[in-house]
């Protein structure tokens, strides 16, 4: 409908342009005639040199016997007709009204053209909104039907609890009498809360697909414009459309764009946003009932939403859509791998175990990357090695094999990563070491990855302390091997991670006896959920105490890492040399190299005792410098460029 109106509007503009062109053509054709005075015209008539005359208002256009056309302007009191009849000259007259109409069009056209250009640019400034140039207040909600791609609960996996909470909504849309006969009322709204990529939008579409009802989708930012009142008008129009299609579902994605806490700002666009939010609140639970219209919204910033949105009667249910556990990840991988031919060695459970913390979107990306890798190689199916390669690429970044490293840089990187791996293996509360590599990935020259054996929901003090020790092990390894004066500038990433964890232990987790069980994190940042300033400030003495405790946790971790490396010097040396030779080692291969064995079992038969390049021939110890332990520099990442 809106496209038809736009087409008609531009058709009128084209017609006016053509008419103007015709008028100018006529003017040009008249302009080609030579101008003569009225007296010359009279002389020509009396001299019998005029063949025909056309009277067009005040203009007298006449053709002479030699075929030339001339134009003269007659005086208002001149009797031209009698003169021409008396001389037996053919006379043609044109109505004067046509000239007036043409003049009117010539006067009107510039204004019409100006208005058309203004409407065009206003329409562009409003994003080409629904309803054409005059549809500023129309809703931009798009209705999806089964023809647009039907999604059901079979396409959603890994969030079983969230699906169960929303099944009642589907049942109500299918059979509302089942609930209404007992006096029950379906919740008017459901708020899906969770991190990005967990499937909130997909879950909302699955509800509409299961219920078989119209599904309107719109973003929270589509309501807010630069003109005050436009957002409120769009909210009203959206609910009017929904009522006409009831029962239906209206899905508002990223509702925090319009539903933020009121009173957090002053003036400007904030007034428009608050008016839009007020209209949304009234439409959801005001004087008029919206029977059969269910609002589903999604956000990952529940803490900034206005409390009026979250009260019963509006968003009655708040459904947490979290990252899936190992069983959920396996189901999600099975959903995304439906159209992907898998090799016989692919075990989705092993892949699920090795991807803790992955969201549904991350797992979909993993399957896609594995398929692209297999296609690039030329395989007919996706093998387990393709999944491993894709997982390493996502978790650690793409390999930068073209990066040129000197022998010294490569050696220091190997000892740095060997320190991480040794300490991670020796400390029981650290996550198992998954892989170590000295191939540059992303912004790091090397990397050691650890993966938990199962999903972790809590952080314990001894676990956090061991994690800090493993993080600081890279710097400890460099100082142990080369001395404090030769340490590189790279462990900036290690220091940042250790500092962030130590500060959380002291300021948020309550793991410092000296600081106590007080949350200083929000006070330090000045952040409050309602958008205001921090509730209290931290005194200078408390800040000093916090920094002392943070430094203590980091120093203790560093000392622990240094001690473990010195106590396991042989294994440390073997692992570093193994990384230099093989560049990348998995967890099992790391343990074999530490024990003086080849990293691959199939290499046992091919390895001779005299092979100088074998890992077993690596010297047990190498001289090290006696170095201090309190230097703050180290090397995991390359030195930042100026």
Active site residues: 417
Q: What are the C-alpha distances in Å from 506 to residues 371, 463, 467, 516, 520?
A: 45, 14, 15, 8, 8
> How many other CB atoms sit within 10 Å of the CB of residue 403?
12
Q: What is the DSSP string of 314-329?
A: TS-EEEE-PPP-HHHH
CB 359 within 8 A of CB 333: no
**169 Cβ neighbours under 8 A, 6+ residues apart:** 186, 187, 190, 207, 211, 294
* C-alpha of 27 from chain center: 58
Distance CA 532, CA 539 (A): 20
Q: Report which of 635, 642, 168 is spatially closest to residue 440, judged by C-alpha positions.
A: 635
CB 409 within 8 A of CB 635: no
List phi, psi (to 5°) of 181.
Answer: -70, -20
Beta bridge partners of 6: none
Task: Please classify residue 150 by burial: count the beta carbons closer than 10 Å to its beta carbon, then call 0-12 exposed, 13-18 middle and 19+ buried.
Answer: middle
Distance CA 449, CA 478 (A): 19
To the nearest 5 percent, what fractions of the chain are helix, strand and coil? 50, 10, 35
Dihedral sign from CA coordinates of 339, 345, 347, 350: negative
């Amino acid at each position: 409908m809106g496209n038809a109106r736009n087409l008609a509007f531009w058709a009128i503009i084209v017609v006016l342009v053509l008419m103007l062109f015709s008028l100018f053509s006529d003017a040009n054709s008249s302009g080609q005639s030579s101008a003569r005075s009225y007296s010359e015209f009279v002389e020509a008539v009396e001299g019998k040199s005029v063949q025909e005359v056309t009277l067009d208002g005040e203009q007298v256009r006449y053709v002479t016997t030699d075929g030339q056309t001339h134009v003269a302007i007659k005086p208002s009191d001149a009797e031209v007709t009698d003169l021409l009849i008396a001389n037996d000259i053919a006379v043609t007259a044109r109505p004067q009204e046509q000239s007036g109409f043409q003049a009117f069009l010539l006067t009107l056209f510039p204004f019409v053209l100006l208005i058309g250009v203004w409407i065009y640019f206003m329409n562009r400034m409003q994003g080409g909104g629904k309803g054409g140039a005059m549809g500023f207040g129309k809703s931009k909600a798009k209705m999806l039907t089964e023809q647009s791609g039907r999604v059901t609960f079979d396409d959603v996996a890994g969030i079983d609890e969230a699906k169960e909470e929303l099944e009642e909504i589907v049942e109500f849309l299918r059979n509302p009498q089942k609930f209404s006969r007992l006096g029950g009322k379906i919740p008017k709204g459901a708020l899906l809360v969770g991190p990005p990529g967990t499937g909130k939008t997909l879950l909302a579409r699955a509800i509409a697909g299961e219920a078989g009802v119209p599904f309107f989708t719109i973003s929270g930012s589509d309501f807010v414009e630069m003109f005050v009142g436009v957002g409120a008008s769009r909210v009203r129009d959206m609910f009017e459309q929904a009522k006409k299609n009831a029962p239906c579902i209206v899905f508002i994605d990223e509702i925090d764009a319009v539903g933020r806490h009121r009173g957090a700002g002053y003036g400007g666009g904030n007034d428009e946003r608050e008016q839009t939010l007020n209209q949304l609140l009234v439409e959801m639970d005001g004087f008029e009932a919206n029977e059969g219209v269910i609002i589903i919204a999604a956000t990952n910033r529940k803490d900034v939403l206005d409390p009026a949105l979250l009260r019963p009667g509006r968003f009655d249910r708040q459904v947490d859509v979290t990252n899936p556990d190992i069983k959920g990840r396996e189901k999600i991988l099975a959903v995304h791998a439906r159209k992907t031919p898998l090799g016989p060695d692919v075990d989705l459970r092993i892949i699920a175990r090795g991807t803790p913390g992955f969201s549904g979107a991350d797992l979909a990306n993993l399957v896609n990357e594995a398929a692209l890798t297999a296609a690039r190689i030329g395989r007919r199916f996706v093998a387990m090695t393709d999944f491993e390669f894709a997982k390493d690429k996502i978790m650690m970044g793409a390999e930068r094999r073209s990066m040129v490293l000197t022998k010294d840089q490569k050696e220091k990187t190997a000892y740095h990563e060997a320190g991480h791996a040794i300490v991670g293996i020796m400390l029981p509360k650290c996550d198992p070491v998954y892989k170590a590599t000295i191939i540059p990935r992303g912004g790091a020259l090397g990397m050691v990855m650890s993966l938990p054996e199962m999903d972790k929901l809590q952080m314990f003090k001894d676990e956090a302390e061991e994690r800090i020790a493993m993080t600081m092990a890279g710097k400890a390894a460099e100082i142990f091997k080369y001395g404090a004066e030769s340490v590189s500038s790279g462990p900036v990433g290690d220091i940042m991670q250790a500092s962030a964890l130590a500060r959380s232990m002291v300021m948020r987790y309550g793991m410092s006896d000296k600081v106590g069980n007080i949350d200083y994190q929000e006070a330090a940042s000045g952040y409050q959920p309602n958008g205001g300033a921090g509730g209290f400030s931290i005194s200078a003495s408390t800040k000093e105490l916090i920094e002392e405790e943070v430094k203590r946790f980091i120093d203790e971790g560093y000392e622990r890492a240094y001690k473990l490396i010195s106590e396991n010097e042989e294994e440390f040396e073997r692992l570093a040399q193994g990384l230099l030779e093989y560049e990348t080692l998995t967890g099992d291969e790391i343990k074999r190299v530490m024990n003086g064995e080849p990293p691959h079992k199939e290499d046992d038969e091919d390895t001779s005792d005299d092979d100088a390049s074998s890992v077993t021939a690596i010297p047990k110890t190498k001289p090290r410098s006696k170095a201090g332990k309190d230097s703050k520099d180290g090397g995991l990442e390359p030195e930042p460029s100026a």
